[in-house]
Amino acid sequence: MPKFAANLSLMFNEAGFLDRFAAAHAAGFRAVEFMFPYAFDPRQVAARLQRYDLALVLHNLPAGDWAAGERGLACDPRRTREFRDSVSLGIEYATELGAPRLHCLAGRLPPNVTHERAHATYVDNLRFAASRCREHGIALLIEPINTRDVPGYFLTGTRQAAAIIAETGADNLFLQYDIYHMQRMEGELAGTLRQYLPLIRHVQLADVPGRHQPGTGEIHFPYLFRLLDELGYDGWLGCEYVPQGDTLASLAWLEQVGSPGCWT
């Protein structure tokens, strides 16, 4: 059975961020992920991870002004210096927190920038970020995101991501495969997992269309979990969903896919 990590940016929002670590531990999780830790001193976050014996699976590099709708800097040729500074900050936090992976958001295609120029910028920035991450033993991940939720996002498909990974030539650049986003963009989840598993270093999940917990939409998660086992995926599955109801009630699906405690 796959191992499940709680995404603390979306789950346990009944509590403040620093209190969500205790809530995840009490619910039975032994690993967590989150989008951005940068509003907090890394020592505060590290102390919560240690106190509650939680592994940190990954977090994101800084993504610009999130509240204003920015979703990453990596494909914007006008912000290369800002992006590269953000890599240093992300690595600083990942090192302090023991995160073995960092996710680099591509960003939206900037206005008045051609797709070709954005692509070249993105590849160049990924080579830079992967090189810096390699110095610290960190894997860098890229994730295709659906354009219904994030119109204009630059990286939108698995094949595109695989081609970019190959183009960079970086041996520590991998695919973060989000079941929710790719069901909305591509479908063919099982076939895609079979084809691209060698590139995948992290999987995230939510059901479609509401981005709620498994069992609230159209995806047959028990089949996908069995498939991941058959394929030999031994990484974490990040529960990056918006709970329908309170978070603890939303965890009932875990009891349906394995014995109690199967996510530990």
Determine contact, residues 207/217, Cβ cutoff 8 Å.
Answer: yes
Six token digits for residue 251: 């965890």
Helix (H) or strand (E) holding 192: helix 189-196
SS3 content of the chain, % helix, strand, coil (to 5): 45, 15, 40
Q: Of residues 33, 70, 143, 188, which has the active-site annotation?
A: 143
Six token digits for residue 46: 């590290």
What is the rounded end-to-end Cα distance, in angstroms, of the chain?
A: 10
Beta bridge partners of 236: 3
Determine contact, residues 133/96, Cβ cutoff 8 Å.
Answer: no
- Asked about 143 being catalytic, the answer comes back as yes
Determine contact, residues 33/238, Cβ cutoff 8 Å.
Answer: yes
Determine contact, residues 221/253, Cβ cutoff 8 Å.
Answer: yes
- Asked about 230 being catalytic, the answer comes back as no
Beta bridge partners of 239: 6, 205
Six token digits for residue 125: 């920035």
Strand 55-56 versus strand 31-33 pairing type: parallel
Determine contact, residues 200/174, Cβ cutoff 8 Å.
Answer: yes
Q: Of residues 14, 70, 240, 255, which has the active-site annotation?
A: 240
Six token digits for residue 47: 């102390």
Catalytic positions are 143, 240
